Amino acid sequence: EDQVTQSPEALRLQEGESSSLNCSYTVSGLRGLFWYRQDPGKGPEFLFTLYSAGEEKEKERLKATLTKKESFLHITAPKPEDSATYLCAVRIYNYGQNFVFGPGTRLSVLP
Amino acid sequence: GAVVSQHPSRVICKSGTSVKIECRSLDFQATTMFWYRQFPKQSLMLMATSNEGSKATYEQGVEKDKFLINHASLTLSTLTVTSAHPEDSSFYICSARDRVSTDTQYFGPGTRLTVL
């Protein structure tokens, strides 16, 4: 069964304390892995797309990496405005155009 | 670029009435749009996929007669919740797949529906 999990479920960091979020997947044929940020009461905001193992993408304090089994979202020196829920999603070859979403990681960055 | 809008952002209605939610891709053409439902502190649940000019494909357990989806153009899809009941209260989010960049979905800001 195709499955996407994320860990930890929730993470509290002090401002400036770097850390990583994990997205693990067991799917039959990865077509792409996507990271989104979602603020409360809003729709997800697109961050990155990764397609193949070894690929990395960066944007400001965020860096996403991909292996054959998981992806990491590294947050360097986070600020309170980085507080949000981070969602990963995968697109699978035998699942048409749809995404399979992970449950998300709720990140809180304290000043 | 890649902006998706939804209207209304919030709606409160009485039980038994119908509510229409619009989803528009503002600066790109979307051959495919998706409708999701999200409960508090939970991830997104896909309800249906709609392709421009054709019937929507509904996920298992989603009533197609209750959640009517129309995708009449490359920039507009609508979700109509018919005969709404309190259990339909939720956060509804649409997304659109860029016709050119065929993988990434761009999400709208969501619509909070409350049925009294």
Q: pLDDT digit string (tens) for B43-92? A: 899 999 998 888 899 998 999 999 999 988 889 999 999 999 999 999 99
A97 contacts in chain B (CB < 8 Å) = 32, 49, 97
Q: Which of B4, B47, B103, B114 to mutate to test the interface with A (most CBs of A within 10 A)?
A: B103
Distance (Å, rounded) from C-alpha A109 to C-alpha A12?
6
Q: Does B30 touch chain A (CB under 8 A)?
A: no
Cis check: omega of the bond before B86, within 30 degrees of 0: no
Contact between B46 and B59 (Cβ < 8 Å):
yes
Residue A104: both structure tokens together: 């998300």
- Strand ranges, E, within B26-81: 30-38, 44-51, 57-58, 67-73, 76-81
Q: pLDDT digit string (tens) for A7-31? A: 999 999 999 999 999 999 988 888 8
